[in-house]
């Protein structure tokens, strides 16, 4: 049996990092839980439940601050939930080593993508395609760090949608929010400002995680006694992380995840290779 205080401390730390990055708590939680001896499938299942708490908790604050773009969120959720169902169904029948390997690869891939674009500043998309215009993905928000109102319009939704299926697939498969990947699609493909990407990704993650959770619930992989302290811990950590995010600039946030992602990715990959 896992020690309750250890479970709680791991969960608080995971929630904090997850909210800061918009990734959801799972990316830190799952490697940490497997390190203290939990089976990876159970860790994935517990994690995806806690991801609902983290993302919903953070999303509630962002949505009320009017940073989140609900239309972008609803459009992309159509794709992520189908991906999450597929992914979770694969994990239930998969063996364990590929899950470690895939987890490591996804983390390192995310790291590389974030690292390569770390100095890029957001520039609005010049030409918005007809489909995106039809979807009406405009928005505006007040940026506290810059002290001004930012207006923008989402573009290339025809590519963003299908790519979000893949993000949902990874989320369901590995029990994570896959927020970093979602943020990347928002930033690079759809041209949303970084804060809108992070917060809208948070909203999408909750629904995506629910789709994955229902598969794990049906498979009997969710243990409420373990899930309870993890949900509380991750939720508390996420609350603290959210309070900080609104005040920090984009660069500080990015630099922070880069280090965390690299360490965790390497660790999972090594364990997948060693078996």
Partner 1 sequence: MSDANVTNAANPNPPAPPLTEEDLLRGHHPLETAVGYILQVGVLLSALLLAIGLTWRWFVTGHFAIEYSIHGVNLFQFVVQEVRLALAEAFRPRLFVNLGIAVLLLTPYIRVFASMILFAAVERNAKYTAFTAFVLAVLTYTLFLR
Using CB under 8 A as the criterion, which residues of the chain lie in contact with partner 1 when the complex forms? 1, 4, 49, 52-53, 56-57, 59-61, 63-64, 66, 68-71, 74-75, 77-78, 81-82, 85, 135-136, 138-140, 142, 147-149, 151, 203, 206-207, 209-211, 213-215, 217-218, 220-229, 231-232, 235
CB of 215 to partner 1, least distance (A): 6
Element (H, E) at 153: strand 148-153
Measured from the CB atom, the residue of 100 and 216 that comes closer to partner 1 is 216
Give Cβ neighbours of residue 23 (< 8 Å, ≥ 6 apart). 17, 176, 177, 178, 179, 180, 183, 257
Measured from the CB atom, the residue of 28 and 49 that comes closer to partner 1 is 49
CB of 176 to partner 1, least distance (A): 16
User: Are the CB atoms for 172 and 87 separated by under 8 Å?
Assistant: yes
CA distances from 203 to 51, 75, 245, 265 (A): 11, 12, 15, 25
CB atoms within 10 A of CB 131: 14
CA distances from 16 to 13, 19, 224, 260, 261 (A): 5, 5, 22, 12, 14
CB of 90 to partner 1, least distance (A): 15
Measured from the CB atom, the residue of 78 and 270 that comes closer to partner 1 is 78
CB of 1 to partner 1, least distance (A): 6
Measured from the CB atom, the residue of 92 and 113 that comes closer to partner 1 is 92
**Tokens linked to 37:** 């001896």
**Tokens linked to 69:** 């773009």
- CA-wise closest residue to 7 among 28, 41, 36: 36
CB of 208 to partner 1, least distance (A): 9
Measured from the CB atom, the residue of 194 and 206 that comes closer to partner 1 is 206
Q: To which residue do tokens 């995971």 refer? A: 14
Calpha distance 38→41 (Å, rounded): 9
CB of 108 to partner 1, least distance (A): 29
Measured from the CB atom, the residue of 49 and 261 that comes closer to partner 1 is 49
């Amino acid at each position: 049996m896992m020690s309750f205080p250890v479970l709680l401390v791991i969960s608080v730390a995971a929630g904090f990092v997850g909210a800061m990055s918009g990734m959801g708590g799972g990316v830190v939680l799952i490697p940490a839980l497997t390190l203290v001896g939990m089976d990876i499938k159970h860790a994935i299942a517990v994690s995806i439940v806690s991801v609902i708490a983290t993302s919903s908790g953070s999303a509630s604050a962002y949505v009320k601050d009017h940073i989140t773009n609900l239309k972008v969120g609803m459009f992309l959720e159509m794709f992520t939930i189908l991906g999450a169902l597929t992914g979770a169904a694969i994990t239930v029948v998969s063996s364990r080593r590929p899950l470690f390997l895939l987890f490591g690869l996804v983390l390192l891939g995310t790291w590389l993508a974030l690292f390569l674009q770390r100095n890029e500043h957001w520039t609005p998309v010049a030409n918005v395609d007809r489909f995106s215009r039809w979807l009406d993905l405009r928005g505006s928000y007040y940026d506290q760090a810059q002290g001004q109102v930012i207006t923008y319009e989402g573009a290339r939704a025809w590519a963003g949608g299908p790519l979000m299926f893949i993000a949902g697939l990874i989320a369901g498969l590995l029990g994570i929010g896959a927020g970093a990947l979602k943020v990347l699609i928002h930033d690079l493909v759809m041209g949303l400002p970084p804060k809108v990407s992070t917060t809208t990704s948070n909203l999408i993650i909750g629904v995506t995680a629910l789709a994955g959770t229902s598969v794990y619930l049906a498979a009997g992989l969710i243990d409420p006694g373990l899930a309870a302290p993890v949900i509380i811990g991750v939720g508390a950590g996420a609350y603290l992380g959210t309070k900080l995010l609104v005040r920090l600039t984009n660069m500080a946030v990015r630099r922070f995840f880069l280090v965390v992602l690299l360490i965790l990715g390497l660790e999972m990959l090594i364990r997948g290779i060693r078996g």
